Each structure stands twice: as C-alpha cells, then as structure tokens.
Amino acid sequence: MSSEMNGEEIMYEVRFHGRGGQGAVTAANTLADAAFREGKDVQAFPMFGVERRGAPVAAFTRIDEKPIDIKTQIYEPDVVVVLDTSLLDVIDVTDGLKPGGVLILNSAKDPSAFDYSGAEVYTVDATSIAVNNGLGTDTNPIVNTSILGSYSRVVGNVKLESIFEAIEHNVPYKLENNKNAAKEAFEGVKGV
C-alpha cells in the first residue's frame, strides 16, 4: 500500500495510539528506524498529555522517499495503529484518517467486529503474542514489537527484516523475544 498522487509517491504518515508504558513511542521510533535502514527519509515524535503510566499517548512516524520538510503533528494519517482498544471508548482514533486509510487494532476479535466505515480494518492479538513471548506482564504487556510486525504485513512499505534490525537498535532487552513477537504478529494479523 502506498499513498500516491498522479502516480507519484508522496509522504506516508502513521499515528500510534496507546497508553503510557505500552511502547507507542518506541513503536514510532522503531518503525522510523526500520524505514531509514531502507534508505527512506523519516521522522518520529511523540505527543504526551499527562505523562504517566496508563495515560493516553500518541506518537507519530513519517516515511518518504524524498526529504521531509514538514515539522507539524500528523493530522491526516494514512494509518492509525491502536495498541489498546480501551482507547476506542475515549478517543476518536480515526479522527483525520484519510478515506480508505488503514486501522490496525490490537484485538483478538475479527476485523468485522469493528464498524469503521471508510477504513480498512485489521486486527492482531498483540497482547497474547506479547505475553506468550514474556514481553511485559499479564496485566501490562508491551505490545509495540507485535504491532510493528502486523504493520509490516498490512502496509508493506517497511520489510519485516528491517523491523528486526530496528528492534536490535531500539529495544533495550529480550531482542529475540521481541523479534519473535513481530514475526508472530506478521503471520497472525487478521483481515489480510
């Protein structure tokens, strides 16, 4: 999938929604690192509200084949990635999502369980994958690497191998567990 205008590649923008401690900021940075390793120009940055564990957090990644000059928050993302579906009750995660944009949800449910007209919805049980790989705890799983594996499969503009390399440089521990989680999510995303 790619954003195109008159057959020309244009900037690709991703917004991550999570809760403090789930790894949304690390996910945005790791995705940017992976795309950079493929020769793309990137930006990654967070937006914090109340900076505490469990509070809603948004993070952003821009990916382009040419230099990125824009320095603003992402208002009309191509993709929205939600690390915690409890946020669906408190935040309009699809606010500004481009028509036909992609919504990736951390959920064991089938994509058809979510009614987001105008968006391509995909789900992955990133929580179970994280817990099974010992990432975080049962009550506070760290799902960021799982989500990135599903992103790679659904969107396809960053290779899984590049995600693995970026994990090696951005994730502070359990590298093999994190790579395995990304691979499991790549293979297990629903809606593809």
Q: Where are the domains of the chain?
A: 4-188
Please give the helix or strand (H or E) that residue 83 lies within, else none.
none
Predicted local confidence at residue 5, as pLDDT: 38
Predicted local confidence at residue 72, as pLDDT: 84
Please give the helix or strand (H or E) that residue 30 lies within, else none.
helix 24-37
According to DSSP, residue 97 is labeled: P
User: Can you tell me the distance from the alpha carbon of 69 to that of 2, in angstroms, rounded to the nearest whole number?
Assistant: 19
The verdict on pTM exceeding 0.85 is yes
* Side chain identity at residue 11, one-letter code: M
According to DSSP, residue 118 is labeled: T
User: Can you tell me the distance from the alpha carbon of 72 to that of 69, in angstroms, rounded to the nearest whole number?
Assistant: 10
Predicted local confidence at residue 6, as pLDDT: 37
Predicted local confidence at residue 7, as pLDDT: 42
Chain length of the chain: 192
Does residue 144 contact residue 82 with C-beta atoms inside 8 Å?
no
According to DSSP, residue 6 is labeled: T
The pLDDT profile of the chain, 192 residues, written as one tens digit per residue, is: 444 433 445 789 999 999 887 889 999 999 999 999 999 999 999 876 555 666 788 999 999 999 998 888 899 999 999 999 999 999 999 999 999 999 999 999 999 999 998 899 999 999 999 999 999 888 888 999 999 999 999 999 999 999 999 999 988 789 999 999 999 999 999 997
| Tokens representing residue 149 in the block | 């594996």
Predicted local confidence at residue 28, as pLDDT: 94
- Residue 4 C-alpha from the chain's centroid: 21
Predicted local confidence at residue 41, as pLDDT: 94
Does residue 14 contact residue 79 with C-beta atoms inside 8 Å?
yes
User: Can you tell me the distance from the alpha carbon of 174 to that of 3, in angstroms, rounded to the nearest whole number?
Assistant: 34
Predicted local confidence at residue 177, as pLDDT: 95
| Tokens representing residue 168 in the block | 């090696």
CATH 3.20.20.370 matches 4-188: no
Predicted local confidence at residue 2, as pLDDT: 40
Predicted local confidence at residue 95, as pLDDT: 93
Predicted local confidence at residue 192, as pLDDT: 73
